[in-house]
């Protein structure tokens, strides 16, 4: 697994549950978070960020089966 994938997984593991988050363009950092899509979009707009990825986190993470 690449370092970028490890960073992405680690960020998601520590992201707030049942929330909207924005990941940096390379998906290695959470750059904004909020209760609604609009909150996160407004934060990104105020930062002048047009490249981040906005996504909704689940209410809980299911354990991974190996």
Cβ(38)–Cβ(20) under 8 Å?
A: no
Q: What is the pLDDT of residue 39?
A: 97
The whole-angstrom separation of Cα 49 and Cα 5 is 22
Q: How confident is the model at residue 5 (pLDDT cuts 50, 70, 90)?
A: confident
Report the number of distinct structural domains present in the chain. 1
Structural domain contains residue 18: yes
Structural domain contains residue 52: yes
pLDDT tens-digit readout, 15-63: 899 999 999 988 888 999 999 999 999 999 999 999 999 999 999 877 7
Q: How confident is the model at residue 4 (pLDDT cuts 50, 70, 90)?
A: low
Structural domain contains residue 9: yes
Cβ(16)–Cβ(33) under 8 Å?
A: yes
Structural domain contains residue 46: yes
Structural domain contains residue 64: no
Structural domain contains residue 61: no
Give the structural domain span for 7: 3-56
Structural domain contains residue 27: yes
Structural domain contains residue 47: yes
């Amino acid at each position: 697994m690449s370092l970028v994938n490890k960073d992405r997984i680690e960020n998601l593991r520590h992201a707030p549950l049942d929330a909207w988050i924005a990941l940096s363009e390379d998906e290695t950092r959470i750059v904004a978070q909020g209760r609604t899509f609009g909150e996160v979009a407004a934060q990104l707009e105020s930062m002048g960020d047009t490249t981040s990825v906005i996504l909704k986190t689940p209410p809980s993470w299911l354990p991974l089966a190996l």
